[in-house]
Structure 1
Amino acid sequence: MSSVNGSFAAAPVPVPSTATSATTSDDAAKPKRGRTSKPKVKTGCNNCKQRRIKCDEKRPSCSNCIRSKKICTGYPPPARSARPFEEIRIAPKPLSAAPATTSTATTTPPPIREPVQLPPRRIVKYQKRLATPPQTPKTPSVPDAPLMLYRPSVNLPIDGSEALYFQLFREHTANELSGFFDSVFWSRTVMQECHSETAIRHAVVALGALYRTLEKSCESPPGSPSADFDPIDNAYQHWEMAVKQYSHACNALVSVNSADTRAHRTRLMASVLLACFDSFIGDHKQAIVQIQNGLGLLEQVRAERRRAFLPKPEEPVEEELIQMFTRLAIQAKSYDMAFHFPQPYVIRLTTPPKADPGSPSSEVASPVSIHQNPIPERFASIKEARLAWDTLCERIFRFTETMFAHAQTGVMGILPEELRQYGSRFKHDIGAWSVAFDHILATRTAPGVSSQEKAAIAVLKMFQIMGQILFLMTFSDSEMQFDSFTAHFKAIVDLALEVVGDEERRAAAKRCPDPRFCRHQDRHERDHFGGGHEYYAARHLKPSFSADLGIVPPLFVVATKCRNSLIRDQAIQLLKSSSRREGMWDSELTARIALWIKDIEEEPDMPTPGQSPVQSQSRPTTSGSMARPSVGSIDFGDRALGPGGNARWDDSRRESQVAAALFVRQQINQPQQPKIIPAEKRVMVRAVEFDLRERYALVQLGTRGLRNGTLDLKTRVTKITW
């Protein structure tokens, strides 16, 4: 008999001797039951593992430790080899008590836990921490310190439970949200606004709680007790706080006085923060709606200023807020161009000829500032180069959007050839930007350049290369034309290697200072970089989120459009190992889509009817290289065979051996060229419907250059889950 939880066995009941003698003969007649064969379990808390007893692995303390009145010191993390690489997930919402493999894992309420009694010393320490207001962070002294954060006063109208998340946002989250580039918006403007605007303050606390959720969700296992266990420091508690504060921010926006001149600025800033929150949790549709609302409000405020006939066409809000909306619009537009969302989740930078009044994007116009400077001969700083690229990229998007609206081709993502001359100026501007940026690109490895600045330079160059490829291919209806950009694809991968490699080395030095005791070296993955680049597997990097774009979109372009197998594999490996979400771009989703496209395009050719598999393999390759000779393809010619049918076999065998030796010698002297994927096997993404919270994607592939409504014989549809 066992207890309710099956952990305790009932004590044996004394049996009288008479009863024992009466049952001895019956017991002897029964065959002894063999020991049940069960797999050996190596998990359990540290105490149970030392005592070599079975642990029920209850949290916060196992039953054995409670019964023996011992302090449960926690559970050791499993080996990295025991956790498949694909299990690294970015979605910050923690799993509840239900198993992770069930569909209700994200909807089941958290289990009811008994209250945990803290020692009196811990209670006093915890109460003191809640009563203490957030302190001003110290200025970092390391050379790679980010832009100094704004230091708000300690008299913010904020309670103790919110103060911890506000401090986390101020010290850590603001820098993470800015990505690879310094941002005055995150480090100063948002912090200042928290003093006077309740909606902004709640949104900041929500993002701080969301980052804490991500940190606790990445533990192994999540919520594992330790020597300084805190009953409120678990992923689900942080998640509840994040959702609660998000709701408070939305309610506070409703109560904002619309007659106040500051109301528009508050709503615009809140749209940015809430869009980041929605992107963080994987709700890209709601994030797009937030961006649409912000762009619509920005255009409305601009129209009001134009109607006021002001002497100077000044912007209604500061330039940095305009820049944030420009980047959010570029981000959402690139997301739509890659995955082809349906209405109304489409960002429009220009008013369509026939606007749908029911679409939230009908009144949206360009967010770019009215003050645009020409591209100089040399950029003075990385900030100037970034602003110039954002402006140029937004202009290109508006051009293509306008041309697609008036073009009658009906072909997805392809402009008519006669419009090429209208877009020739953008080709010149992209080249001019690259020339002006070359001297900054060359200085990224110079002494004194911080790691953040080095990464920002590399990422910005990746943007430029990606933009050049995609814009030039806007006028091409053949996937074969992407082969002319192989060198560009290689440059993107090389730059991404620098970024991920530097991040991995810093993370390894922080998490595992002594490599001899590193627990992150057991993951067996295929290395696509030729050996000697173990840090590119990014074993020490934790899942991360930034509000700005980085390496994911350029690597996705390489992984889906580059048909050089080695370069494509490298891009996919970097996406898989990076484990990051940049705005709405998720590295796990893009890696899995690219893997499926690669499998389709590189699947082996099936033999034609009446042809043996050996004959199919002996055909010349599409690259024109010599096929490897095999026994099944030896040609005996018209020579008559001798007795037994093998008189000429020795001669033929010697000829085949000579041919094989010549083939090997040719391969050593001149390596085989990469196999060219024919046009009939190449596909493109036609549509993707996905949910990052539920971790699935419905992907549809098809033919490039096919008119809408035409039967597509290369249509492939699949559901990807992770």
Structure 2
Amino acid sequence: MPPVAGTPLTPAATSTGTPPSDAADAAKPRRARTSKPKVKTGCNNCKQRRIKCDEKRPSCANCVRSKKICSGYPPPPRSARPFEEIRIAPKPILVASAPPPGREAIQLPPRRVQKFQRRNLTPPQTPSPPRTVATLCKPIITLPFTLQEGLYFQLFQEQTANELSGFFDSGFWSRTVLQECHSEASIRHAVVALGALYKTLEKSTESPQGSPTGERDPTDTAWRHWEMAVKQYSNACQELMTAGSADTPHRTRLMASVLLACFDSFIGDHKQAIVQIQTGLGLLEQLRAERRRAFMPRPEEPVEAELIQMFTRLAIQAKSYDMAFHFPQPYVVRLTPSQPQDPSSPTESAGSPVSIYQDPIPDRFSSVLEARFKWDALAERTFRFTETMFNQTRSSVMGILPQHIGQYGARFKQEMEAWSDAFEHILASRTAPGVSSQEKACIAVLKMYQVMSYILLLMTFSKTEMGFDKYTSDFSMIVDLALEVVGDEERRAAQRRCPDPQFCRHRGRHEASFGGLSYAARHIKPSFSADLGIVPPLFVVATKCRDRALRWKAIQLLKSSPRREGMWDSELTARIAMWVADIEDTSDPAESAHSEPDIFHMVNASMMRTPPAAAGDSPRPSTSGSGGGGIRGSIDFGDISLGPGGNARYDPATRRQSNSNGSFAGRSPSALPPIPEDKRVMVRAVEFDLRERFAVVQLGSRELPTGSLDLKTRVTKITW
């Protein structure tokens, strides 16, 4: 009888004929397999060969020994990185094959990578960063940086400083801040933090994200750059606290407030950004008060004019944000003291970031830079005037002053008109040969702000939303100028990212179409700038213009390219404007009350309800290349035949003419039926979080005092 399987052989069994040597081997007990936890790390080559990887970087020892290219390490499991998603910018419209922003790309095994590359002939749009790191740090060897910090500083110097400036050149970012890094640790840390933040944005939105390459640096991920940005931000704050208020120079504290406010705006923390701005403005006023108490006939500014100019722009930005979204205390920047002032002297300097010694506006500006300085001063004094008047009159109606005091604002209206006249020759020259794309954008943005501010100033004394209908041609100019800016930006981005249109991967993706109209700005990446640009003027058009064609063009432009300009976010403003338009276009306003709208359905529905223009109406001239003022069709900025000035050509009909209401002549208004007064609403409050991407929006009547029963009240929560 044969032995039972699995039992050890006995000596008796060996006598049945089994060879002695084989019997001895069979008699040895089998070695049990050691139970160890399964290792899920290691490079992909070692995982495929099922051998232990020493996980050395950039190449493991097994790959070096076998002369293989180490294909890199897969990302850790999601359970090991619960806080992975980094929300520092508007959510971009992604290529269909790209993963969501802020997430690691999945590392494919080598055989699947080869299969993917054979199937996908398009080369990666984002090349691998150069490996020669020694030469990158050469210009900054005098600063106490680690190798990684030096790379972020180099990135700030070569790219971030220019992008923070927005459409306008700024020596503050490209020169003053970099010089201060040599003497102040807090400024150094803040600069490195902003450089790391820009690198985070770049990695989060690269196209195609995580493109398979032969070599991949495991430290070059969005999450690693984000960790460094937060760490350096914390170090900057710690340096300011450690040094103490008495030991830290005032200039350094003011500059740090600017840098930290930009960081907070970048990541979407607008409340902390406002706190930083308030801190800087308070310190600046304290320094000015000390100089005034010295009884100097004309005291000099406590810091250089460049830093004063930065706080002027931050103050304008914060006030415009408050006027649009109506923040509660303490997130309201005040430019005037709390005590009521004499409205006949609205240029009182207390609380102002701008010096009271202002030269008059010339008959003709000599440069765009001079026009910008004059406009910043005028805009700040206008905000300070309206703030003073609201304090003096104690107006109970949100954003509206009594008509009988409108005389006090007459001189600001005259100054805005004088500024427009002095700027006219610069506006007309923006499409001339030799004008750079950046200078053309500067000119367009400045004019957009002048038109927007002119409308809002005059409407401050109007109780009815119907008053905005007088400025339809002005709204049209804002949209046309924005089309120029976005169109030129898209054209340059397409040339840079897809020089060969045959291999462009950005044209085939799904485009959100509103009523058949699609602005195809496919190549513009999500961006952040510390200065204001096209978002605030387009938001005013989208919420205050009742010409449906212009309104939806403005909304499309806001959605065409994700951008954050200071605290102004294009996606947030577009979503709010879409809901306002839906409320005003809906036949029964109660249908949309207290409910979250279906964004894309409501846009298409409202556009379908828009009747065509009446026969015989002359079409509105368009600088967008769309062939008229219609709302149907598609505008692809990259395919338009370009002239000397870019995508759009100057239309003399848009030039400002002197008339009674201050609007732009030469444009025929839309023949669409106007929205009646009883259906028009205004934004009364917005509570939002850009990092979590939601907003609670409250709409209501314009003419009712705060706290009154308002039958137009609508509240909704918008997410994206």
1:295: which partner in 2? 281
Query: Are 1:134 and 2:137 matched, yes or no?
Result: yes
The change in CA–CA distance for 1:540 and 1:60 in structure 2 (over 3 A counts) is: farther
Contact preservation (8 Å) 2:698, 2:714: yes
1:591 maps to a residue whose letter is: A
* Aligned partner of residue 315 in structure 1, secondary structure: coil
| Residue 695 (structure 1) aligned to one of 673, 693, 696 | 693
Counterpart-to-counterpart distance in 2, 1:421 and 1:622: 41
2:225 maps to a residue whose letter is: H
2:711: which partner in 1? 713
The change in CA–CA distance for 1:307 and 1:718 in structure 2 (over 3 A counts) is: same
Contact preservation (8 Å) 2:86, 2:226: no
Query: Are 1:572 and 2:567 matched, yes or no?
Result: no
2:261: which partner in 1? 275
Query: Are 1:597 and 2:595 matched, yes or no?
Result: no
* Aligned partner of residue 700 in structure 1, secondary structure: strand
Counterpart-to-counterpart distance in 2, 1:601 and 1:88: 36
Counterpart-to-counterpart distance in 1, 2:510 and 2:553: 16
| Residue 441 (structure 2) aligned to one of 447, 451, 455 | 455
| Residue 485 (structure 1) aligned to one of 467, 471, 480 | 471
* Aligned partner of residue 458 in structure 2, secondary structure: helix
The change in CA–CA distance for 1:673 and 1:312 in structure 2 (over 3 A counts) is: closer
Counterpart-to-counterpart distance in 1, 2:413 and 2:222: 48
State percent identity of aligned pairs: 69
* Aligned partner of residue 255 in structure 1, secondary structure: helix
* Aligned partner of residue 466 in structure 2, secondary structure: helix
* Aligned partner of residue 309 in structure 1, secondary structure: coil
Contact preservation (8 Å) 1:493, 1:567: yes
| Residue 331 (structure 1) aligned to one of 292, 317, 326 | 317
* Aligned partner of residue 675 in structure 2, secondary structure: coil
Shift of 1:693: 0.6
Shift of 1:673: 2.2
Counterpart-to-counterpart distance in 2, 1:457 and 1:442: 9
The change in CA–CA distance for 1:73 and 1:438 in structure 2 (over 3 A counts) is: farther
1:388: which partner in 2? 374
Counterpart-to-counterpart distance in 1, 2:43 and 2:551: 45
Shift of 1:525: 3.5
Counterpart-to-counterpart distance in 2, 1:218 and 1:607: 40
Contact preservation (8 Å) 2:340, 2:391: no
Counterpart-to-counterpart distance in 2, 1:424 and 1:708: 27
Contact preservation (8 Å) 1:483, 1:562: yes
Contact preservation (8 Å) 1:537, 1:573: no
Contact preservation (8 Å) 2:89, 2:528: no
| Residue 525 (structure 1) aligned to one of 511, 514, 525 | 511
TM-score for the superposition, normalised by structure 1:
0.71
The change in CA–CA distance for 1:92 and 1:247 in structure 2 (over 3 A counts) is: farther
| Residue 522 (structure 2) aligned to one of 532, 539, 560 | 539
Contact preservation (8 Å) 1:368, 1:394: yes
1:233: which partner in 2? 220
| Residue 388 (structure 2) aligned to one of 402, 415, 420 | 402
Shift of 1:517: 1.6
| Residue 495 (structure 1) aligned to one of 471, 475, 481 | 481
Aligned residue runs from structure 1 range 420-431, under 5 A: 420-431=406-417
TM-score for the superposition, normalised by structure 2:
0.71
Counterpart-to-counterpart distance in 2, 1:407 and 1:336: 19
* Aligned partner of residue 697 in structure 2, secondary structure: strand
Counterpart-to-counterpart distance in 2, 1:294 and 1:344: 15
* Aligned partner of residue 695 in structure 2, secondary structure: strand
Shift of 1:206: 0.3
The change in CA–CA distance for 1:72 and 1:600 in structure 2 (over 3 A counts) is: farther
| Residue 179 (structure 1) aligned to one of 166, 174, 179 | 166
Shift of 1:228: 2.2
- Report the count of equivalent residues: 555
The change in CA–CA distance for 1:415 and 1:133 in structure 2 (over 3 A counts) is: same
Query: Are 1:439 and 2:428 matched, yes or no?
Result: no
Counterpart-to-counterpart distance in 2, 1:220 and 1:380: 42
Counterpart-to-counterpart distance in 1, 2:352 and 2:43: 53
2:455: which partner in 1? 469
Shift of 1:255: 2.6
1:33: which partner in 2? none
Counterpart-to-counterpart distance in 1, 2:307 and 2:218: 39
The change in CA–CA distance for 1:529 and 1:315 in structure 2 (over 3 A counts) is: farther
Unaligned 5+ runs, structure 2: 1-39, 52-62, 74-84, 93-97, 108-127, 342-348, 592-608, 616-667
Residues 674-722 of structure 1: CA distance to partner in whole angstroms, max 9, x if unpaired? 1211111111100000010111111000001111111000100011111
Shift of 1:594: 0.5
The change in CA–CA distance for 1:512 and 1:563 in structure 2 (over 3 A counts) is: same
Contact preservation (8 Å) 2:506, 2:522: yes
Counterpart-to-counterpart distance in 1, 2:549 and 2:153: 45
Aligned residue runs from structure 1 range 161-200, under 5 A: 161-200=148-187
2:675: which partner in 1? 677
Contact preservation (8 Å) 2:613, 2:672: no
Counterpart-to-counterpart distance in 2, 1:128 and 1:72: 16
1:633: which partner in 2? none
Counterpart-to-counterpart distance in 1, 2:433 and 2:715: 50
Contact preservation (8 Å) 2:334, 2:351: yes
| Residue 243 (structure 2) aligned to one of 256, 280, 287 | 256
Query: Are 1:216 and 2:212 matched, yes or no?
Result: no
* Aligned partner of residue 687 in structure 1, secondary structure: strand
* Aligned partner of residue 180 in structure 1, secondary structure: coil
Counterpart-to-counterpart distance in 2, 1:605 and 1:72: 64
Contact preservation (8 Å) 1:382, 1:457: yes
* Aligned partner of residue 373 in structure 1, secondary structure: coil
The change in CA–CA distance for 1:304 and 1:211 in structure 2 (over 3 A counts) is: same
* Aligned partner of residue 460 in structure 2, secondary structure: helix
The change in CA–CA distance for 1:459 and 1:127 in structure 2 (over 3 A counts) is: closer
Counterpart-to-counterpart distance in 1, 2:705 and 2:590: 31
Query: Are 1:155 and 2:142 matched, yes or no?
Result: yes
Unaligned 5+ runs, structure 1: 1-56, 76-86, 95-99, 114-124, 137-152, 356-362, 609-619, 627-669
The change in CA–CA distance for 1:475 and 1:354 in structure 2 (over 3 A counts) is: closer
| Residue 376 (structure 1) aligned to one of 355, 362, 365 | 362
